[in-house]
Structure 1
Amino acid sequence: MRSVKLIVAFILLFNSNHVFAQDFTDSWLGHFSYLDIKDISQGETKVYGAAENAIFTYDKQTLEIEKLSTINGLSGETISSIEYVENKGLLLIGFENGLMQVYKESENDFLTVVDIIDKPTIPPNNKRINHFMIYNDFAYISTDFGISLYDINNLEFGDTYYIGDGGSQIKINQTTIFEDQIYAATNVGISKALVSNPNLIDFNQWTRIVSANWVGITSVNDKLFASRSTRRLYSVINDAISELVVYSDLIVDTREEQGNLLIATEKEAYVYNTETSLNVVATAQTIEDVSMLFTAVSLSQNNNIYIGTQGIYTTAIGQEGYGILQTNVSDTSVYQEIHPESPLLNKFFKIKTQAGEVWGTHGGHSVTYNFNGGLRRSGLSHLKNEEWNNISYDSIASAVSNPWYLSYLSINPFNTNQVYVGSYFSGLLDINTESISIFNQDNSSLVPFAGAIHLVLANNFDSNGALWVMNGRVDNSLNKLENGQWTGINMQDIINPRTSNLGFSDIAFTDDGKVFISSLNYGIIGVDTNGDKKFIEDVEFNMPSEKTWTVETDLQNTIWIGTDRGLRVIYNTSEFFSNPTFQVSDIIVLDDGTPRELLFQQYITDIEVDGSNNKWIGTLDTGVYYLSSDGQETIFHFTKDNSPLPSNDILDIAIDDENGLVYFATEKGLVAFGSESSKPEETLEDAYVFPNPVRPNFNINNDKIKIKGLTDNVNIKITDIEGNLVTEAESRTNGKFKGFNLEIDGGTALWNGKNLGNVTVASGVYLIMLTDLDSIETKVLKVMIVR
């Protein structure tokens, strides 16, 4: 009886699903970190560096650097591999989740390819793109499931090869062409097949020449080299392997460039000449006394070596990467850093902004205020004058001991050069342009929870310039620094035992001096001006959860509360204290005529109020909402699908009242939206109009004339030079996003150049008459329009 052998070919057919990415450069800014490098690819004139989820190009001739991020259409997902196809003007970008994008240089546009990520037969955790190899106008894509072919002329997928036992999915780390064979380094061995074989989808056409976990393979001239996960480099001759080198560290990159073999380990980069034997041409090592790792290596025609770096973030080390390091074969002792100015890390814990500056922390803690959810050693990111001037962890640690888990921060409203940063371990840092010092049990009312551990949490300045600071799991958990004097306020009459509440995440103040605090276990806590204290935390008082994460006072003295299960407000803060059965309010809106609770069961992380009293609300999983002052209208709802947000998990929001930028911090990067809103001024003294004059090349209908420096309640009349009324608006009536030609958004008015008849005005001089409706203060501005 003869046995019959069944040959099964597993075929993955991709119907190339392409989506053109949207460009957001008109209204958004991106602030991504470019210090940790995932991969490098270069051509004759430029180098591409892939960071965590953003890319930059370095022009070798002009030395100019350009950035590419979600603002330009990049996905924002974590990048795993890139390949520059210079003769096609294409950059292929692979991501850890299986997404692929093609950047077209000539069009400055991204094509998003979702074939792999949308394929249900591939497990989600097996879709990572590991390597691109270009051969005969096809990209051979090494993935965690097999090898996929992508036609770079027609920009469409071809076949996919499953080359594991029985046609199973196995991890392909890298492929190369040697002689007439395609070789694949996999996690179970090295396999090969005839590259011209039209039936490579049949796993039986592939031969495994050796087993084990192979992390890289490349051909150099007439030789073949492969690297293993055991830190070893081998030559492959007639399908037999021969050990060449044992390295001290793991091999992270194996490639051929300029006829040389390049090897990068975590600590060293090597350039080898392979013409006769394996000869070291150059060795580059990590910088002495600097903690970092190498991630990739590339060699240019003029023998410049480009090395990707990555920071080390452990309990013992807190050092960010250095972007790409450039050195030369002739002297590898000299390095040049290449990367755009950027924050230290993508993941922010908290941000604050004031007067055009942004400060950000990266430390933090877990949702239950444990250390294991935070980053022990990290510096501070600081944006000033449109440049990032960061403070490294080592700089801070040289001034104070153990500045671990830097978390909550406040900028001094009277001195923007001074910022207070809470260390969730050591105390409160006082950082200014000249020095760094710390407040702890030795010089303040802040006392340790245990030993020398100070669990300093939320802090904020009130309108009088006093700094309020929360200190976790101690008796005097509320502290106040005013005029250089510290005062500790005992909270045990409501929080008892002191360890029954694990943490405090936010502080807000009312106009009459009441203090409201968000807490993990006691809901919303209030402290009245007479010292009375109260908390509301359960459904009996209409609280959806005891876990509150943010609290904010709006311009009408209403308290807005964000919990992990929805939104609540306090309209009457006096009744909060006086009424023992007081209930917080939810907001009911009509959804297609059906009443529903606003942001029902949403995990709210932050609430910020802009100059128009509108609310920016950040959430976990559903992005950010921009609501009207009463919450009845959703003006914007930004997610990663309709905006450059790299994540729908919003960790913090900050509004710069000076320039109208609204910053959104996520674990994958910081972006800013140009809202054009500003905080109202006290008087009209500094009001001005721009651009002025309005020139013919200015798109007046879309970009609009701005009138800045307005007070809270103002009337604006615009007339021609003869006194004829052109248009009119008032703060409480003509709000933004309501279709008015002249609209007022906090301290800024925007005019689209149209009159009451909805016709764009002619060239001429126009008078802008401002009247504060409360104080009757007036001011007249002039603007010249040239069409």
Structure 2
Amino acid sequence: MIKQITTLIFLVFFVLSSHAQDFSALWQGYFSYYNIKDVVVSTTKVYGASENAVFTYDLTTKELETITTIEGLSGQTITTIAYNETYQALLIGYANGLIEIVSGSENKILSVVDIVDKQTIPPNLKRINHFNVDNGRVYISTDYGVSVYNLERLEFGDSYFIGSGGSQIRVEQTTILNNSIYAACGDNNAIKVADLSNPNLIDYQQWQTLGDGNFVAVESVENRLYAIKTNQVIYEISNGTFTALFTYSGLPLDTKTANGNLVVTTETNVYVYNSSFTTLATAVLTSEFDTQFTSATVAENTMFLGTSSFGVMKTTFSNPSNFEVVRPEGPLMNDAFKIEAGNGDLWVTYGDYTVSYNPFPLRSFGLSHLVEENWKNTPYDSLLTAKNLNYVAVNPFKPSQVFISACHQGVLELNDEVPTLLLDHTNSALESLVVPSAPNEISVRQTGSIFDRNGLLWTLTCRVDKGLKSYNPSTGEWKGYSFSEIIPDAFVDELGFGDIAIDRNGTKWIGSFFKGIIGYNENGNSIRNLNSEDQNMPSSVVTAVAVDNNNQLWLGTIKGLRVLYNTSSFFEEPNPTVREIVVLDDGIPQELLSNQFITDIKIDGSNNKWIGTLDAGVFYFSPDGQETIYHFTTTNSPLPSNFIKDISIDAQNGKVYIATEKGLVSFNSGGSDPKEELASAYVYPNPVRPEYDVLGANNLNDINKGVKIKGITENVNIKITDIEGNLVAEAQSRVNLRASRSNNNFAIDGGTAIWNGKNLANNIVASGVYLILISDLESFETKVLKLLIIR
């Protein structure tokens, strides 16, 4: 029996550290808590560490809270955690040697980078394997040896290189018994032991060796010492003698002392013993759960079991087969491949293919859907065998109908979140590639998919003649369009297509591997491509395409960014070329994003550009690319990685979702798409009260400040006057932009205008009633709003 305890809580923590800061004002995190790396317990809480985030479970209230990059964690890969009651400190260890200490009721975060920065230790040996806290000192087991950190003074002490001749060896775990420190070592170094009162422990000769071979754990319980060898046997060590007690069916992955008990975890079993090695409880993984145990701890007579794909499972000593799943809400995985946002929802897929569109090895993962801040995760076995799910296309005329490309099987159709049909070569116009040497091989390699304004789904198939197809969900009609004019041999001459965009003229713009950017318009059967240096293409590999609000085509390649400014005459122009964007860097002309691997391009409601890269984070540019509004990386934002997989913007609320290889976050940009008419325009907060503290901000990009006017049309002029008609502020679309260095008091961002409450003299206005006069410059529609300000 399984009972799931879930909640979605994004806490606002105060974070204090030279390396950590709180981003909770504008950012939100969506991390996965299915794969648990470690789980520990304090007197009041259970702490579960997933791949790069931590959650707490209150033993009394059963409340769940999360600590992520939003609150200041690094986003690196977690390997181990420990909790110390004396200092109320949670220690988090990472694969790269980073240590973070979360302390106090306010969860202040301190980043300790000494091991990361240590030049004498190779990067591949800095992994943190275990923390052992004793008398205010933390003995840190690593792949190079043991380091000591003082929790009282928050500083490092000595490091012990205890291999032969003082060499660096892997230490899996340490424990302390009778003032001696024991270390379980790899590299055939057995158990090392030394007297803690010895002031010269940096001398490897002060360490003695017990036993032989490789050990994965050593732990003391009361006055007894236990160790586990790679032969899967647990021993009791007494006076240097090893006594075999039990042989496990698999190698133990986690061994710890909790509440006076010894807890040993294998992939399929968790054993709880008292100090005398009497079994108190055993949890067995049954066929009902397709997962493995990863770690475990106990609180009184309750076990908390970390798993690789279920989160933390809670059970009791008396009934260890009755499980509850304890985890915060979140997506299935952190490594999202494609995302699609809109109308407050977010779809997440986890398929994959290489830059050359090779889908192997196939990824049999599920699907995630965020609806009203709740995650609905569909496992793979409910997806009609669809593997390598990638692009998501939501029917604009029927949002409950969703089509997801599967780069091996075709297109998966969902209705009301239920997978209902897998469209492939047997029941649609979709085609399998034909391998000359293996004509019976079937592979329907679907990638980019998008709906046009008429409700037709356009989808791309790799390595077939009719690489572009349209599908009418209302009639079931399919049409295929051949690319043989530029791709004579579909299997050999082009490895695949990825991103697709549609401009105002109905031209489909397709990014390819060999053929660069392909433009196709079925009206007249026009097709053309740009892929050579003569056409100013930095590479033939086009990874991202987007059409902006001026009908200009922005395209990303593996070697930089280009723009096709004249899309309307692309098929008629004798020698069309793309252009780079040149910006001034300290007065010197430079090509924007030169040689950068562009992974995605998205356009927001005010025509600003969001551009993701392979290793440089996210860039947010003004409409013409001349001004960098933001450049988000792991060092100045909650991005858990600088490898951006995909970006999607919810035009309804301006929220920008960013998928990285290590997790998903969103940034509240505050913009929105313009409306067709002014009927729904409104102003908020209204009234503006003193406690709101929203007036006077100099940076209009902080959407928590200022007065917002939403629901405006694409091209407006807005005047703000006092009740007597005196002009206070004025802004116009495309003129007064919200870029960070524009120094506007009033600006328009797509369908949203932001006013900081200052007048033309740059002073905050007085209390009173203000009129907001909105005029559409094209339709001449007008609307008047009233705003009350109380200071």
TM-score range, shorter chain: over 0.9
Establish whether residue 693 from structure 1 lines up as the match of residue 687 from structure 2: yes
Q: Counterparts of 1:394 and 1:596 in 2: how far apart (Å)?
A: 51
2:712 corresponds to: 710
| Equivalent residue, structure 2, for 1:778 | 782
The answer to whether 1:509 aligns with 2:507 is no
The answer to whether the Cα contact below 8 Å between 1:19 and 1:113 also exists between their aligned partners in 2 is no
Asked if residue 606 in structure 1 is aligned to residue 600 in structure 2, the reply is yes
Find the counterpart in structure 2 of residue 4 from structure 1: none
8 A Cα contact 1:509 1:515, kept in partner: yes
Aligned match of 2:658: 664
Inter-partner Cα distance in structure 2 for 1:132 and 1:246: 26
State the partner residue of 1:417: 400
**Secondary structure of 2:225 counterpart:** strand
Q: Could you tell me how far 1:771 is from its partner in structure 2?
A: 0.7
In the other structure, the counterpart of 1:168 is: 167
Query: Which of 392, 415, 421 is equivalent to 1:432?
Result: 415
What per-residue deviation string (whole Å, max 9, x for no partner) do you get for residues 566-623 of structure 1? 1111111233222342211111111111111111111001110011111001011111
How far has the Cα of 1:689 moved from its partner? 1.0
Q: Which runs of 4+ in 1 moved over 3 A?
A: none
Tell me the distance in 1 between the aligned counterparts of 2:350 and 2:528: 32
Q: Which of 509, 517, 536 is matched with 1:542 structurally? A: 536
CA–CA distance in 1 between the matches of 2:91 and 2:503?
A: 53
Task: Tell me the residue number matched to 2:209.
Answer: 208
The 2-side partners of 1:641 and 1:329 are apart by 45
Distance 1:250 1:776 in 2: 75
Aligned 8 A contact 2:558 2:598 in 1 = yes
Letter in 2 for 1:509: I
| 2:368 is aligned with 1:381 | yes
| Pairing 1:440-455 to 2, within 5 Å after superposition | 440-450=424-434, 451-455=441-445
1:407 has 2:405 as partner = no
Cα 1:37–1:435 change in 2 (3 A) is closer
Could you tell me whether the CA contact under 8 Å between 1:720 and 1:766 is conserved in 2?
Answer: yes
Is 1:324 paired with 2:312?
yes
SS of corresponding position for 1:575: coil
- State the match for 1:11 in structure 2: none
In the other structure, the counterpart of 2:180 is 181
Q: Aligned runs of 1:225-304 on 2, under 5 Å? A: 225-275=226-276, 278-301=277-300, 303-304=301-302
Question: Of the candidates 341, 348, 355, which is equivalent to residue 343 of structure 2?
Answer: 355
Deviations 1:484-543 (A, max 9, x none): 311111112211210221111111111011111001111000113311111111101110
One-letter code of the match for 1:40?
V
The within-5 A match list for 1:519-530 is 519-528=512-521, 529-530=523-524
Distance 1:274 1:108 in 2: 33
Match of 2:325 in 1: 337
Q: 1:237 Cα shift?
A: 1.8
| Offset, 1:290 | 2.1
Contact 2:350 2:363 in 1 (8 A): no
1:721 partnered with 2:723: yes
Instruction: Tell me the amino acid that sits aligned with residue 372 of structure 2.
Output: N
Question: For residue 98 of structure 1, what is the aligned residue in structure 2?
Answer: 97
**Residue 224 in structure 1 maps to residue 244 in structure 2:** no
**Residues 168-219 of structure 1: CA distance to partner in whole angstroms, max 9, x if unpaired?**
0000000011223111000021110112111111100001111211000101
Alignment partner, residue 682 of structure 1: 676
SS at match of 1:540: helix
* Equivalent residue letter for 2:229: R
Aligned match of 1:477: 467
1:607, 1:673 → 2: CA distance? 16
Q: CA deviation at 1:435?
A: 4.5
Give RMSD over aligned pairs: 1.4
Deviations 1:370-425 (A, max 9, x none): 233x65111111111011111111221xxx2x211111211222222222111111
CA contact (8 A) 1:304 1:326 kept: yes
Is contact 2:140-2:148 (8 Å) kept?
Answer: yes
Contact 1:362 1:375 in 2 (8 A): no
Q: How far apart are 1:20 and its partner, in Å?
A: 4.0
Query: In the alignment, which residue of structure 2 is the partner of 1:551?
Result: 545
* SS of residue matched to 1:333: coil
Say whether residues 1:631 and 2:633 are aligned partners: no
The answer to whether the Cα contact below 8 Å between 1:353 and 1:411 also exists between their aligned partners in 2 is: no
Q: Secondary structure at the match of 1:577?
A: coil
Q: 1:38 maps to what in 2?
A: 37
Q: Percent identity?
A: 49
Is contact 1:173–1:184 with CA below 8 Å preserved after alignment?
Answer: yes
Please state whether the residue corresponding to 2:570 is helix, strand or coil.
Answer: helix
Give secondary structure in 1 for the equivalent of 2:220. Answer: strand
Cα distance in 2 for residues equivalent to 1:708 and 1:542? 40
- Distance in 1 of aligned mates of 2:19 and 2:661: 25
Which residue identity does 2:406 align to in structure 1? S
Residue pair 1:559, 1:571 contacting (<8 A) in 2 also: yes
One of 485, 489, 502 as aligned partner of 1:493? 485
- The residue identity in structure 2 corresponding to 1:722 is E
Structure 2 residue identity aligned to 1:378: F
Q: Is the 2:262–2:273 Cα contact (8 Å) retained in structure 1? A: yes
Matching residue's letter, 1:412: N
Code of the residue aligned with 1:306 in structure 2: it is: F
Q: Distance in 2 between matches of 1:364 and 1:209?
A: 48
2-structure distance, mates of 1:479, 1:86: 62
1:682 and 1:725 mapped to 2: Cα distance? 27
For residue 645 of structure 1, the aligned residue among 639, 646, 649 is 639
User: Residue 429 of structure 1 contacts residue 437 of structure 1 at CA under 8 Å; is this kept in 2?
Assistant: yes
Residue in 1 that maps onto 2:8: none
CA distance in 2, matches of 1:182, 1:427: 59
* Inter-CA distance 375–127: structure 2 relative to 1 (3 Å threshold): farther
State how far apart, in whole Å, the 1-side matches of 2:326 and 2:311 are: 6
**Counterparts of 1:552 and 1:210, CA distance in 2:** 64
- Tell me how far 1:120 sits from its aligned partner: 0.8
Equivalent in 447, 450, 459 of residue 457 of structure 1: 447
**Equivalent in the alignment of 2:762:** 758
User: In the aligned structure 2, how far is the partner of 1:235 from the partner of 1:375?
Assistant: 45
Local SS of the residue matching 1:679? coil
Q: CA deviation at 1:67?
A: 0.8
Structure 2 unaligned spans of 5+: 1-16, 435-440, 698-704
User: 495-504 or 110-119: which moved more?
Assistant: 495-504
Q: Does 1:192 align with 2:186?
A: no
Query: How many residues end up aligned between the 2 structures?
Result: 753
CA distance in 2, matches of 1:263, 1:544: 56
Aligned position for 2:572:
578
For 1:91 and 1:273, the matched residues in 2 are separated by 25
C-alpha displacement of 1:105: 2.3
Which aligned pairs between 1:59-74 and structure 2 lie closer than 5 A? 59-74=58-73
Judge conservation of contact 1:21–1:109 (CA < 8 Å) in 2: no
Asked if 1:392 is matched to 2:379, the reply is yes
